Chains A and B, each alone.
Chain A
Amino acid sequence: MDDFEQRLKRQPLRQLPADWREGILAAAKAVEPADHRSRTAHPSFLSTLNHQLSTLLWPHPKAWAGLAAVWIVIVTMNMSMRESAPAVMAKKASPPSSEMMAELKQQRLMYAQLIGGGDQPADRPKFFPMPRSGRVGMMMT
């Protein structure tokens, strides 16, 4: 160091104000250490749920996992069958033939004649089934 540097070096620096000590240290001591804060922080809902599930499933984790897998397979199969069933039925159904349509038309006509009152005699007794013992009595007389 030359003379100039020595001269600069000899200049005394300003003193730290004494009254800062109390305020700065009070502010520093007022904060909690970061690791302490994280230890005492409240656990989140998910971590609580995870903890509870772990406690519940811990004794036989493989059995619970197997059961869950079986349920997943069942639900998957159920949903896939439900989705595919109408399509299969629709595929299998064929349009009715002309004979069947004619037959259906004939049956509909007969049904209309049967329930219609126009061509049915009014004095015709209505048939009421009787017990077999009664029918035997009628035959004897």
Chain B
Amino acid sequence: MRRGTEIDRLYDSHAQPLYAFLLSLTRNEADTRDLLQDIFVKLSREPHLLDGVRDERAFLIRLAHNATIDLIRRRGSRERTKDRFAAEIISPFAPCDEPDGRFFRDELSAALVELPPDQRAVVHLKLWEGLTFEAIAEVLEISPNTAASRYRYGLDKLRERLRPLYEEIK
């Protein structure tokens, strides 16, 4: 009973950001659901997994990242996966009624797909999870300098791709 309650709590606290992160990486809703379910099944099967963990969110994002990397490796080469994701692209952003806003989100979504997954993960965690480079480094098991450089590279690509649109609607 207590295990069930704990899983409910973890889901209600962390499922939304995990969903957004997974969708940003996979861009596929079915894969995102499978990965999200795998994470909570793992938590249920190993109830002591979170014992002694200081930051639950960071730990769960790391699980999500590792699960996504495993999925990509299982599926074969990165290019094939990217093609598949591109074919079934789903925007990680909420729908927008306002035309300019909707266009910007669509363009941003398309620009994010063109980033390599490691840069996309850092950009997502920095912009939409609000993590510091130190926290991102810990989650993705890279150095803070690597996290910062990946963010800079990713952001420069987004800026270049979206500059005309951004200047127009600013």
Contact = CB atoms under 8 A, between A and B. Distances in A.
B46 A34 contact: yes
Contacts of A4: 155, 158-159, 162, 166
A13 B94 contact: yes
Given A4-B159, A12-B93, A21 B47 contact: no
Interface in A1-19: 3-5, 7-9, 11-16
B92 A13 contact: yes
Contacts of A33: 3, 44-47
Interface of A is mostly: helix
B45 A14 contact: no
A20 B46 contact: no
B108 A8 contact: yes
A13 B15 CA distance: 13
A16 B45 contact: no
A9 B158 CA distance: 13
Nearest to B12: A21
A23 interface: yes
A29 interface: yes
Given A24-B11, A27-B41, 10 more contacts: A8-B108, A13-B92, A14-B23, A14-B92, A15-B16, A24-B33, A31-B44, A33-B46, A33-B47, A34-B45
Interface of B: 3-4, 7-8, 11, 15-16, 19-20, 23, 33, 36-37, 40-41, 43-48, 90-95, 104-105, 108, 127-128, 155, 158-159, 162, 166, 170
